[in-house]
Chains A and B, each alone.
Chain A
Amino acid sequence: EAGVTQFPSHSVIEKGQTVTLRCDPISGHDNLYWYRRVMGKEIKFLLHFVKESKQDESGMPNNRFLAERTGGTYSTLKVQPAELEDSGVYFCASSQGVLAGGTFFGPGTRLTVL
């Protein structure tokens, strides 16, 4: 069974540009999450989808970030316009049940904003 996949693995953009990150969760997982790790610090929650609905978006830093989950399948996270402080590793995760231990993470997208 395929795990959580993310694309691209790396992205380097200039300040002010737009970047879109994609996540494909494990098939059948209704829950999809985005997390971010900035500069070797803690991994921070961004938001949580249940199917196509946003369950919790309390971690989204500002309105330059837009997350969507089309048809309850894959998800995209768009940053527009990107700022220097947006650099970091963006992780996507998915789960089927409610136990946090059943959450599977993707390999992450490393975003560098110059």
Chain B
Amino acid sequence: DQQVKQNSPSLSVQEGRISILNCDYTNSMFDYFLWYKKYPAEGPTFLISISSIKDKNEDGRFTVFLNKSAKHLSLHIVPSQPGDSAVYFCAASAIQGAQKLVFGQGTRLTINP
């Protein structure tokens, strides 16, 4: 029973273009969502987050959108850079387990020069 799903295992984008990574969730109790970035042989690194009271959060080239009615969130990276090539994990937490993260399977993003 996977509560957080990333249905695209991989994504390839040209440098300078927009990368859009998607994530769906099923648990209505989730109220805090995060994106992590992971390079090989390293642990996940926090990238950006959004609370369920918002529908958008922006940090530089990274923007996360949340659609609560559809239980869907997305991460936009623009413009995409070669250093953005990594595995991106979507994660969620519920207020009662604020520190316990539920992750998706990850999407491998490749930025082509």
A-side interface residues toward B, CB under 8 Å?
4, 9, 31, 33, 35, 40-45, 48, 56, 91, 93, 95, 98-108
B-side interface residues toward A, CB under 8 Å?
2, 4, 32, 34, 36, 41-46, 49, 89, 91, 93, 97-106
Chain A residues whose CB sits within 8 angstroms of the CB of B101 once the complex forms: 35, 43, 45, 100, 103
Could you tell me if B91 and A100 are in contact, using CB atoms closer than 8 angstroms?
yes
19 A-B residue pairs with Cβ-Cβ distance under 8 Å, sorted by A, are A9-B41, A33-B100, A35-B103, A41-B105, A42-B106, A43-B89, A43-B101, A45-B100, A45-B102, A48-B99, A48-B100, A91-B44, A93-B43, A100-B34, A101-B32, A103-B99, A105-B44, A105-B45, A108-B41
Chain B residues whose CB sits within 8 angstroms of the CB of A104 once the complex forms: 43, 46
